[in-house]
Structure 1
């Protein structure tokens, strides 16, 4: 099998391409990262691949398929290559199979956009300390985490009522195993320290089920490998994200990132 190519922008802080890399790594599929400076993603030839001029874009030379939008790419990889159902369910668990889509769409429509807006107004917006926007998106981030926390709490109660499992065992968003739905949240979850600098959000105390789940996802060997490589890229590569700030009139400067949450923990 030829490696699947996925475009990413150095130094790799942007979370969305890493969602795809995590799924590929969890399935043991070969892939190559195609590094492209941010200044090039709004112009041809890249926009011939991705008309939206964003990251990631995937090229699968094995099937002659080119796709953009991380959710669409994840769905393609699962449908095409997860023949052993490592990260999904079969049709005899039809509700679980499709409920994974609800959580993936929630990640795409809620977590990504709202976490991104909190990042923007906390760190990048030219009008610093625009507190109404910071508070609005901070509350949205907490609401989204709360949705996950409550759903995971219900999963734990359900699991405890049906089996002899202990309260320390991991629970997942759907069913009895970690799936692509859980994995899709991982890269954005690691940024919560940057979204709430100075320890202004105590995740472990305020959202204990979310904290346990996020930690369990991040310590999976394949996911951990990808997240740690991401940290290495952030540490060693030039950040071409500065090119985004340079061309946007409402941007001030790139943020100073806090250490990624859950990466490198035992």
Structure 2
């Protein structure tokens, strides 16, 4: 089987491509990252792969399929390659199979945009200390975490799990819907650099859930590779930000939540 290509930009801090890579690794599929400078993603030839000019795009040479948008890519990978139902459910658990889609869409429409805007206004926006925006997106980010927290708590009660047992968004196993949240979760240190979030205290189920995912061998392998890329690659994203009229600077790299950065 040929490697499935995932497009990303140096130095790899952008979270969305890692969502796809985690699913690939968890499914045991061969993958490779095609590194493309941020300055080239808004023009050809990349926009032939992703007309939105964002990251990632995926090229599967085994099926001659090119896709963009992480939700579409994850759905494709699971439908095409997860025949053993490692990260999903089958028609024998029909409701749970489709409930996973609600959580994947919630990650894409809720967690990603709200976390991203919190980082933007905290660190990057040209007008500094725009506190109303920082507060708004900080509150929305915490609301998103609260939705997950409440669901995990209900799942623990429903399944009669002990406090140290892993609990998941849907059913009784980790699925692609859970894993989709991991890369953005790792940025919580950058999102709340002032210590205004104590994740373990404010959202204990969410915190344990994230640690249970980052401890999985496949996910851990990907996140360790991500850390290596961030440490070793030059950040071309800084060059692009320096040319944007509404941007100031990229945030200082903070230790990824739940990842061994040693």
TM range (shorter): over 0.9
Map 1:79-228 to 2 at 5 A.
Answer: 79-160=79-160, 165-228=161-224
Aligned length: 262
The change in CA–CA distance for 1:250 and 1:265 in structure 2 (over 3 A counts) is closer
Calculate the aligned-residue CA RMSD, in Å: 1.1
Matches within 5 A, 1:242-261: 242-261=238-257
Unmatched tracts of structure 2, length 5 or more: none
Mapping 1:18-29, distance limit 5 Å: 18-29=18-29
Q: Name the counterpart of 1:33.
A: 33
SS in structure 1 at match of 2:6? strand
Q: 2:2, 2:61 within 8 Å by CA — same for their partners in 1?
A: yes
Q: Work out the CA distance in 2 between the residues paired with 1:143 and 1:244.
A: 31
Deviations 1:220-241 (A, max 9, x none): 1100110111011001100111
**Which ranges in structure 1 are unaligned for 5 or more consecutive residues?**
none
After TM superposition, which residue ranges in structure 1, 4 or more long, deviate above 2 angstroms? Answer: none
CA distance in structure 2 between the partners assigned to 1:5 and 1:72 by the alignment? 15
TM-score, normalising length: structure 2: 0.98
Whether the aligned pair in 1 keeps the contact of 2:149 and 2:206 (CA below 8 Å) is yes
